[in-house]
Structure 1
Amino acid sequence: MSQTEVVSSQWPQVETGRVVLINDGKDEGKLAAVVQIIDHKRILVDSPHIERQAVQLSHVSLTSQVVTKLPRAARSGVVEKYWKEANVDDKAASSTWHKKRASREKKRALTDFERFKVMVLKKQRRFEVRKAVAKARKSS
């Protein structure tokens, strides 16, 4: 599993410093670090990309990445320092789920004509692949 892949069973891995992906609200799609556990359903998160806030665990996905040695209830400046030391943004940008998410967003932003062009290119690729397979099959 890559450094920032999303972990399926969430609650046992909740800890200070755990990097989470926010799935709901105005900061949807952004990463943050758990600063403090409020109760069994809510956590306090902070990062250089969002403002410090309490979120429900049901509105976040935990990643396998942890900002190590982050003190509990650290202020925003401290969180930003540890965030940069851990290279969270670089590791997240190189992860497969981040690339897949960016691809999905790109597809959603296509216009009708752009979707048509993609369909035509897929048909052309499929035709070439089938032609190559048939040629290989015939020669063997």
Structure 2
Amino acid sequence: MPFKRYVEIGRVALVNYGEDYGKLVVIVDVLDQNRALVDSPDMERGSPRRRNLLDAMEKADVKKKWETSSWGRKLIVQKRRAALTDFDRFKLMLAKIKKAGLVRQELSKLKKENAS
């Protein structure tokens, strides 16, 4: 599977370290191989472009699209799993066992129907 999350101007990115950890940003300029200039609606800047960015992000409904994208859903699931307590993990294990049993029963019923 080829890498598809390239650093390009105008792409929405997720900051995964630093004081802006977890924020969605838009890449404004690629400075060099290791750095990019980013902007987001909640970043305080001295330029008037912030309002334009905020309007464009709201108009395009970027946050909702991010939450429905596969990458965004994976991060939501990852955060939800990290927040589970020991008892929640235990209940999840029991639910998985119960589900597997039901699937196994239905599969055996279908096999019996096809055999006869």
Whether these two folds match at TM > 0.5 is yes
Q: CA deviation at 1:74?
A: 6.4
Shift in alpha-carbon separation, 1:87–1:76, aligned structure 2, 3 A = same
Q: Aligned pair count?
A: 111
Structure (1/2) with the larger strand percentage: 1
Identity over aligned pairs, percent: 37
Q: CA deviation at 1:34?
A: 1.5
* TM alignment of 1:1-140, pairs within 5 A: 7-8=4-5, 10-11=6-7, 14-15=8-9, 17-51=10-44, 75-140=49-114
RMSD, aligned CA: 2.2
- In the alignment, the residues of structure 2 paired with residue 7 and residue 28 of structure 1 have an alpha-carbon distance, to the nearest angstrom, of 22
Q: CA deviation at 1:51?
A: 4.5
Structure (1/2) with the larger helix percentage: 2
Structure 2 unmatched runs, 5+: none
User: Which structure carries more relative contact order (alpha carbon 8 Å, separation 6+)?
Assistant: 1
Q: Which has the larger radius of gyration?
A: 2
List, as ranges, runs of 4+ consecutive aligned residues in structure 1 with deviation greater than 4 Å.
Answer: none
Contact 1:32–1:49, Cα closer than 8 Å, also in 2:
no
